[in-house]
Structure 1
Amino acid sequence: MTHLRHIAVWVDEPDRGHFHWVLHESTDDGSVWVDIESSAAPYSSWMEAFDAGSVELFKLVADERCGPRAVGEDEDADPVG
């Protein structure tokens, strides 16, 4: 099975009263995070933006029992060759 992705939802307020959700993912260097997606339009409250961002995070989960998994080789697969 591929490894679990480290993704966080956070809310930004670039202009007072305009809230945007942001999905952030950790890189191989655990101290470095990158934006992977964000809302195009603002929300009128922090909670609305956070809830919408959580919905977007759940869309990255193919199987809720396993969480969001990285795309790539299956670590449990038989070796090739």
Structure 2
Amino acid sequence: MSHLRHISVFVDEPDPGHFHWVLHESTEDATVWTEAEASVESYPMWIDAFDAGNAALLRLVADERIGPRAPGEDEDAAPVG
């Protein structure tokens, strides 16, 4: 099975009263995070942006039993050859 992706959800407020959700994902260097996705439209309340960000994260999950997985080779697959 591919590895579990390390994704965080947070809310940014670039202008007072305008909240955006942001998904960040860690790279192979655990100290480096990159923006994976962010809301285009703002939300009037922090909690609404946070809930929408969590919904965006859940859309990245194909199977709720195992969470968001990185694309690529299945480590548990039988060897070829």
TM-score normalised over the length of structure 2:
0.96
Tell me, in whole angstroms, the C-alpha distance in 2 between the residues paired with 1:66 and 1:40.
28
> Structure 1: 5+ residue runs without aligned partners?
none
Amino acid at match of 2:16: R
| Aligned alpha-carbon RMSD (Å) | 0.7
> Paired residue for 1:49?
49
> Paired residue for 1:64?
64
| Identical counterparts, % of pairs | 68
Tell me, in whole angstroms, the C-alpha distance in 1 between the residues paired with 2:7 and 2:75.
20
Tell me, in whole angstroms, the C-alpha distance in 1 between the residues paired with 2:78 and 2:45.
49
> Paired residue for 2:37?
37
Secondary structure of the corresponding residue to residue 69 of structure 2: coil
> Paired residue for 1:4?
4
Displacement after TM superposition at 1:77 (Å): 1.3
TM-score normalised over the length of structure 1:
0.96
> Structure 2: 5+ residue runs without aligned partners?
none
Displacement after TM superposition at 1:78 (Å): 2.0
Tell me, in whole angstroms, the C-alpha distance in 2 between the residues paired with 1:46 and 1:25.
21
Q: How many residues align?
A: 81
